[in-house]
Structure 1
Amino acid sequence: MENGTYRGRFDRAISETLAQAVRIIADDPALFFCGSEILLHQKKAAAVRKRHEREGLLVPPVIIASITSRCNLACAGCYMHGRHDRPAAEMSPKTLAGIVDQAGRLGVSVIVIAGGEPLVRKDEILALAGAHPEILFPVFSNGLLIDAAAAAELAARKNIVPLISFEGFSRETDARRGSGVYDRLLAVLVRLQENRVFFGCSVTVSRENFSRVTDESFVRSLIGRGARVFAFVEYVPVEPGTEDLVLTPEQRKELQAACTELSGKFPALFIGFPGDEDQYGGCLAAGRGFVHVSPSGNLEPCPAAPYSDENLAEVPLETALRSRLLLRIRERPEILTETNGGCALRANRAVLDEIVGMSK
């Protein structure tokens, strides 16, 4: 697929998603969210990215930043635990702020904040969102650090969208995250709703829980508690022996169909990740649509592929985006498309290891 074609499609998908969020807010004026302003910026940012591309620099519209490996839970199958990273110092507040500043200037539209549990660095997240009202900050959180004060602080930053992690109802959620977590999360949703926060839920979808989390009863239960975004994230087998939890090819197709169907029935956004990769010519990792920043500042192809040849504590973002590793991955499109589910780069790890060796 021609490079500009898939990037244009991804830009349009982002704009359409933001436009849908604006419509949801218009129908529910109790919600606080600066969707219109961010939608306008997305169009300007896309033009900035296109200009950089003409000059030989590929800037992705999305950066996923795992800002910490610390967490107050120990969930089964956590990708951060599965990375088996050697202990490394987290990015300093100055480094993290500098990355976001540079991303904004380069035309990045969305910075996804992840962890670990990112709200262990809550004050920094709030400061970043305040300094960059034009950027959308979805924050993937287990939710347990959101007390009344934190809910009010999040409400004051209308470009932050908290996405609270569920695995289904109480049985599925507590089995992965710990006894009693589900009930505690329901209380968190009440706090966010009372503060008129535009928020949603993140659901790791496996072969095992697929039918339950895409069922209307599950969706309806969370919408009734204020959720307006559902991010269905396909399970990636970071732990050996869990490959049988990966969605079947049929389930992956059904998930996209379910998102479309649910969008027509409920006042909420339904997003599947990684989504329909075929329309983009394969996975959007390695800068095609997004890159990942590790807690120590390494620029990586994606969260599930912890390889890097540039660190953002040492080089500017623009320099890191010219990474030889990312370029060589993009030059080998077969490793971004050949997979039976889960993560294409992990499925093609032998070829990826070869590329990593060439990039050193």
Structure 2
Amino acid sequence: MPNAIVHAAERKAFELVLNQVIKTANKEDGYIKVIDTAQKFLGDTWKPEAFDNLRKTFTKGEKYANFFDRILRDVDPEVVKGLFMAFGFEAGYVGYHETRKNAEKYNINVPWVILFDPTSACNLHCVGCWASEYSRTLNLSYEDMDRIVTEGKALGTRGYVLTGGEPMVRKKDIVKLAKAHKDCGFMIFTNGTLVDQQFCDDMKECKNIVLSMSIEGLEDATDNRRGEGVFDKVMKTMDLLRENRLPYGTSICYTSANYKAVTSDEFLDFLIDKGVLFSWYFHFMPTGNDTTMELVPTPEQREYMYHRIREVRGYHGGKEIFLMDFQNDGEWVSGCIAGGKAYFHINPNGDAEPCVFIHYSGANIHQNSILECLQQPLFKAYHDGQPFSDNLLRPCPMLENPAKLRAMVHATGAKSTDMSDPENVDHLTHKVEEYAKNWAPVAEKLWASDHPDYVPKTEDQIQGISDEG
């Protein structure tokens, strides 16, 4: 844990910077002055060129300066401050340094974010949702969740993402947890149908909770997957959050069927008009015995997403919304971030899985501490194997390097954690082998186009690496 006196002093300094942001943002060179102050405070957390890029990006009138103007105009300034303190200072700064120290101390991955599912219950039954097939009676108790956060904080982890099931089924416990751990940030991935005024009031009081709502596109696409009337309910939730001056984003699974629709100008302009500030894009993953490859984007479709997301979020032009593509943005996070490198997942049965899409484990929080979960053989194999490719457009040990996941699971004795129909790792990896083979040459071309010193691998070299596992 950080020294209490140093921590308090640094927190106060960070608060002063945030106050300066809110006070000077709309003035000439306001953001530049803030970045200058931040560089002095953050020191070696970021490289000097990162701050130089920020200065160019946040020049008055530029896209992201306008974007942050919108945040400060539309969101309660006290909520802005609370969220930046929780996710920026506590998780991003203090947590980052503490997790790095403990990773070195124990020679393991220690994440700055932990995902966990408060419940398997959900008020919807969405097509293609792996969690929807689980029993709806599994829950982490409040005591379980409090222990996850308490033990996580002891290792430096101060960012928590709640998934499911539908986490908002447990919203009273979530509020209780957020109030008990004010030095942590909590992001909730939700279908958006259970938010009411009381929860908005709770978020304004806590100031360390933010929502990311799942949406499949416009009304027809969303209702076809999530059920009739769901789109209208999500729109009403967005309106309610906006009325309460609370920030929010969306979570979008892109598939072979919707990839263009969910990145179209029409759709993105619609999100911005509704007040959406950010959106997480997730490549459809064929997890589960009954899941086929039909909805998995083709290599050509994935390449389209690669270019489109970069176009939309470019420093100049594009849209005033922040986008992240969790399959094509491996370059910015040094490849696969699972297995505790940046995060891991705890399902509602308590199993500690390397990734929300990789359902294998050798540890459970009901028998193991968080530290012991991170020390399990499967996570150690992740630690020793990352990055799984020197081309970070092929980051995943399942989707792009299936032989590596297969080898890790067999070598460590990890068991399937699927609670309805356990999927053998050989079945999962065999399913994606053709996809991995077809994506590899496209990834090599794209990576070489952005990295002039990189020599693209031949098909024989790629096949040789795949055969080694």
The verdict on a shared fold, with TM-score over 0.5 as the criterion, is yes
- Of 250, 255, 261 in structure 2, the residue corresponding to residue 201 of structure 1 is 250
Residue 61, structure 1, aligned to residue 109, structure 2: no
Q: Which has the bigger relative contact order, CA under 8 A and spacing at least 6?
A: 1
**CA distance in structure 2 between the partners assigned to 1:67 and 1:337 by the alignment:** 36
Give per-residue Cα distances to partners, 1:239-291, cap 9 Å, x unaligned: 53531311233443443443333235433321212442255554221112211
The offset of 1:91, in angstroms, is 2.0
The TM-score, its normalising length taken from structure 1, stands at 0.84
Unmatched segments (≥5 aa) in structure 2: 1-44, 59-63, 417-469
Partner of 2:467: none
Corresponding residue number in structure 1 for 2:124: 73
Retained in 1: the 8 A contact 2:127–2:225? yes
Specify the code of the residue in structure 2 equivalent to 1:197: L
Select 2:370's aligned residue among 317, 331, 337. Answer: 317
Question: Given that residues 248 and 341 in structure 1 are in contact (C-alpha distance below 8 angstroms), is that contact kept between their aligned partners in structure 2?
Answer: no
* Offset from partner CA, 1:67-124 (integer Å, 9 cap, x none): 2111111101102145x6x787422211110111121221114211100000111011
- For residues 287 and 190 of structure 1, the distance between their equivalents in structure 2, rounded to whole angstroms, comes to 36
Question: Which of 284, 304, 329 is the matching residue for 2:357?
Answer: 304
Q: Cα 1:186–1:68, aligned 2, differ >3 Å: closer, same or farther?
A: same
Distance 2:219 2:397 in 1: 31
* Structure 1: runs of 5 or more not aligned: 1-6
Percent identity of the aligned residues?
28
Q: Which has the larger radius of gyration?
A: 2
Size of the alignment, in residue pairs?
Answer: 346
Among residues 259, 275, 299, which one is paired with 1:249 in the alignment?
299
Which amino acid in 1 is paired with 2:71?
Answer: I
1:37 corresponds, among 74, 79, 85, to: 85
Is the CA contact (8 Å cut-off) linking 1:24 and 1:267 kept in structure 2? no
Deviation at 1:218, TM superposition (A): 0.7
C-alpha distance after superposition, 1:122-154 (max 9, x if no partner): 011112222223322110001111123223323
What CA distance in whole angstroms lies between the structure 2 residues aligned with 1:340 and 1:53?
Answer: 25
Q: Which of the residues 325, 328, 336 maps onto 1:272?
A: 325
Letter in 1 for 2:180: A
CA deviations over 1:312-345 (Å, ceiling 9, x no partner): 1222212221112211233345867899989633
199, 204, 218: which one aligns with 1:155: 204
Which residue of 2 is the match for residue 51 of structure 1?
101
Give the CA RMSD over aligned residues. Answer: 3.2
What is the correspondence of 1:257-296 to structure 2 with a 5 Å cutoff? 257-263=307-313, 264=315, 265-278=318-331, 280=333, 282-296=335-349
CA distance in 2, matches of 1:318, 1:358: 17
Runs of 4+ in 1 over 6 A off after TM superposition: 19-23, 334-342
Distance (whole Å) between structure 2 residues aligned to residue 178 and residue 289 of structure 1: 34
- The structure that is helix-richer by fraction is 2
Summarize the Cα distance change of 1:296–1:206 in structure 2 as closer, same or farther, 3 Å threshold.
Answer: same
Question: Which amino acid in structure 1 is aligned with residue 357 of structure 2?
Answer: A
Paired with 1:250 and 1:339, the residues of 2 have a C-alpha distance of 18
Question: What corresponds to 2:271 in structure 1?
Answer: 222
